[in-house]
Amino acid sequence: MFPGSEILKTVPGALRTAFEDLLVSKLKREVAGRLLYDTVRDGASPAAYHTACDGHSNILTLIWDSEDNVFGGYAARALQPYKDPADFWDIDPGSFLFSVVNPFDNGPLILRSAFDGGSTGSVCVFYNPRLGPLFGNGSGFYIHGDSFQTCFTDHRSLACVDTGKTGPNGTPVYSYPVYRYFTLQRLEVWQL
């Protein structure tokens, strides 16, 4: 599904298989990935990211952080080349966030955003050539800086879906602590 993914090589076999099965179920189709961008191969910069990814639809961003967590986002709509002087968010009904490996060891999860009240599960994708991938509009992840040195997740309004997992008191299981900075080890973008 993701031939040659250096990030998914770090994920134990059973978790990787569960993640791939979860993607097929969520997308309702078979998935064959083509690597568009890799921070190690192509350089960790907004310019390199946008050169490789702008104009492509059905892209999956995989993030591996320094604590060996693996997570990311999927955008169904094409990443639009920046043409407007104003930064803008695009609500993408087919988009979602996900977690593959996280500190809670609760397996692969598809996440929804409370941005739209949680009604559709869609998240926003931010387009700006000065920044790397940004998903969620206040509840997602942000990667920016000249060499992607600023990485941040804000999961205040992200709850697990498609799994039915809840905590001991019946509240949704959250994938990451609130307001968490992380150090990027590697980022890959795949077209599916």
Q: Please state, for a pLDDT cut of 90, what percent of the chain lies above it.
A: 32
- Residue 118 — very low, low, confident or very high, per pLDDT cuts 50/70/90? very low
Among the listed ranges 15-29, 56-70, 169-183, which one has the minimum average pLDDT value?
Answer: 169-183
Rounded Cα distance between 5 and 15, Å, is 15
Q: What is the pLDDT of residue 12?
A: 94
Q: What is the pLDDT of residue 7?
A: 97
- Residue 79 — very low, low, confident or very high, per pLDDT cuts 50/70/90? confident
Among the listed ranges 6-20, 54-68, 139-153, 170-184, which one has the minimum average pLDDT value?
Answer: 170-184
- For residues 69 and 191, the answer to whether their CB atoms sit within 8 Å is no
Rounded Cα distance between 50 and 44, Å, is 11
Mean pLDDT of 152-180: 46
Where do we find the tokens 């992200």? Answer: 158
Position 11, amino acid: V
Q: What is the pLDDT of residue 98?
A: 85
pLDDT value at 120 more than 50: no
DSSP structural state of residue 6 = T
Q: What is the pLDDT of residue 159?
A: 35
Q: What is the pLDDT of residue 89?
A: 64
Among the listed ranges 30-34, 37-41, 95-99, 149-153, which one has the minimum average pLDDT value?
Answer: 149-153
- For residues 176 and 153, the answer to whether their CB atoms sit within 8 Å is yes
Domain locations along the chain:
8-80+89-191
Rounded Cα distance between 175 and 183, Å, is 17
Where do we find the tokens 């298989």? Answer: 17
DSSP readout, 117-185? Answer: TTSS--EEEEE-TTEEEEESSSSSEEEESTTS-EEEE--TTEEEESS--B-TTSPBPPSS-SSEE--EE
CA distances from 190 to 49, 75, 164 (A): 12, 11, 27
CA 91 to chain centre: 15
- Residue 141 — very low, low, confident or very high, per pLDDT cuts 50/70/90? low
- For residues 188 and 38, the answer to whether their CB atoms sit within 8 Å is yes
